[in-house]
Amino acid sequence: MGLDAITGLFSRTRSEGRAAFLPYLTAGLPDPEASPGLFAVMAKAGADGFEVGIPYSDPLMDGPVVQRAGQQAIAAGADLDTSIRIVGQVKHGAGLPVLAMTYANPIFRRGVDAFTAALADAGADGIIVPDLPVEESGPLQQAARRHGLGLVQFVAPTSQRSRIEAVAAAEPAFIYAVAEMGVTGERAEVSGHLVDLVDRIRAVTDAPIVFGVGISGPEHAVAAARAGADGVIMGTAIVRRVLDAPSPAAAALELTELVTSVARALQPPG
């Protein structure tokens, strides 16, 4: 449980010679009752763990698709407490590492210690907060450690070595490497930043590197893995299929196909 589960995941996938696949989906999508079942479907299709997005009204890093998912989830009743409960249902249902993704405002409004305690009690293993820079993350780092949770830090293609060093010094659960600048969303082309960003991070730390933002299909995931990433996060492509599906059952079929294709692509040859 907790940080140990995240560390163990990357230890296992490294030993298997492959990158981990961590799908993202918004908690409460398409509604709070159906949401946990879609994560269970992805677990059966080959996901190694999950980023569970807690819907929020002002999601700074999210593109239009994930924003719409958050609005739909909130309208369906996915408030903060419901979303944390779904995080726990995903963890206990799939038995895989689960990281909750949220923004700084809900954390500080609830209280850093109360928020991290609630996540830990639900069964979460880590936290991803894209609008909390490393320089301001000290209180959350301390609370996460008290409750056994891993905290993720971000590095972008524009990050200088001094920032990468600051991120490494924070001992993150993993480094979320932003493959493409801008908000989340599907991209047609594979990012040209992958190899350079991995090289610059590896020059400073051996912390796990997980690419997200713009990872849109199997070819993007494979390119990130070949660049030396320890994992990939895919969000918008998954969320879009749920939003476009006429029913939870149809969404489950779409997710099974997509997650299976990415998981198979990331398997080592032979």
Residue 51: active-site member: yes
The string of DSSP codes covering 134-145 is: GGG-HHHHHHHH
Q: How far apart are the first and last CA of the chain?
A: 32
Cross-strand bridge partners of residue 232: 21, 211
Residue 62: active-site member: yes
Q: Which of 51, 125, 180, 230 is catalytic?
A: 51
**Phi, psi for residue 148 in degrees, rounded to 5:** 75, 15
Q: Which of 16, 33, 62, 257 is catalytic?
A: 62
Instruction: Find, among 237, 242, 234, the residue nearest to 30 by Cα.
Output: 242
The residue written with tokens 């210690």 in the block is 113
What residues have CB less than 8 Å from 75, skipping those under 6 apart? none
User: Rounded CA gap, 76 and 30, in Å?
Assistant: 8
For residue 113, give the H/E element and its range: helix 112-122
Known catalytic residues are 51, 62
